[in-house]
Amino acid sequence: MAIDIVIPKLGMTMTKAKVAEWKAGEGDKIEEKQVVLVIETEKVTYEVEALGAGFLHILCAPGTEANVGEPVGRLAETQEELSQMQAEEPGAVATAPADTTAASATPAAEQPAPGESQPARKPKKVKISPKARKMAKANNIDYTVLQGSGPSGRIVAKDIEKAMATKEAAPAPAAQEVFTGEVIDGKRVRESIPLAGMRQVIADHMLHSLQVSAQLSSGTEVDMTEMVKLRTALKQKPEFKEGRLSYTDIFVYIIAKVLKAQPIMNASLVEGDIKLWADINIGVAAALQINEHESGLVVPVLKNTDQKSLLEISQRVLNLVVKAREGKLDVDDMMGGTFTLTNTGVFGKRWSWATPVLNQPQVGILQTGAIVDRVVAVDGEMVIKPMMPLILTFDHRVIDGAAAAKFVFQIVELMENPYQLVG
């Protein structure tokens, strides 16, 4: 079966290329993975390898432009198939580059006049005995590449026998997977995933957020020693069903307290006016795994968070997370947020920093990371403490650095002294 030689797609905007050079001539035997063609684009020159073995039939001559995916040549499986191709689709007979020195030495009288076609080049005649020819054909030996040992270099039976022995002794080439997929800028594409659905919405939202606001991030770290003790103690209480109390629950509770004390952080810029919201509705970012490669992000909202107890917040957060994972969040669950918390500490015990992007039109988002044992200085001594990174991103159009620092300081103060919350 014939194999097409096509123009590969090398770039996202590439639509065509020029056939620059054929590395072999019409009818030549081509091996798999052999460079058979050179193409040119606006940016690069690229060598095209044969996807299989066969006899070359050239469809497009050098200098011809062809579209991506268009066949410019074919590889016939047999000489008979090649002859049929040449009869049905003459194409453009071309050969490998000739020796320019020899060409220049040819008398001008022997050169064809401009506009005249080149005379067909006769194939090289190989001297071989009838017996040797028969043996070569029966054993799939290409005798045209052999050096004959007979008179005047004639190929005889013992030359074929020698070639057969060499072929049998040679280790079989390892099977190689032939890549037939898309290639962009020299890189093979494993899989194409459409930017659509939830991923498209997230992409548009994040880009819009960065374009319409002056975002600045400020980070610090928190000594979580007392927080760890408090959570452990609270989880023993019967009201926290089966010991279910997350750090996210406590963080939401603390944020609500500080937002009430600093209403400028619970605001939005709407049509030139800074709106300070009377409601404190905290969104909790939740990651979703859509499939092997795709993830998603939703931000369910806890309404009137400042009016709820820690137990009520814990129950509501659990309810929203379960609904999110089951795909059962409704519109009301996602609307009305005035501030957002994203806790990336749930993804692994590694120290990390990041800069979260504002959830428009909110002016603040707080990111907490993993709680990790780290060496810190206490009263001139090096001690190990459970530390957590904390990063606030805020809209500098509305929030000054001093206000952001004050907000972060109050958050840290309550996290490091959480007994103030239950005392």
Residues with catalytic roles: 396, 400
Q: How many CB atoms lie within 10 A of CB 354?
A: 14
Report the Cα–Cα distance between both ends of the chain, in Å, rounded: 83
The residue with tokens 């013992």 is 158
Q: Phi and psi dihedrals of 226, rounded to 5?
A: -75, -35
Q: What angle do CA 343, 345, 351 make, to 5 degrees?
A: 125
255/300 Cα distance (integer angstroms): 16
| CB-based contacts of 357, cutoff 8 Å, min separation 6 | 206, 209, 210, 215, 365, 393
What residues have CB less than 8 Å from 98, skipping those under 6 apart? none
Locate all alpha helices (DSSP H) within 266-356, ordered by sequence: 310-325, 331-334
Q: Contact, 413 vs 257, CB < 8 A?
A: no
Residues 422, 309: Cα–Cα separation, whole Å = 10
174 CB-near residues (< 8 Å, 6+ apart): none
DSSP 345: G
Name the phi and psi angles at 373, rounded to 5.
-65, 125
The label of the residue with tokens 């650095």 reads 401
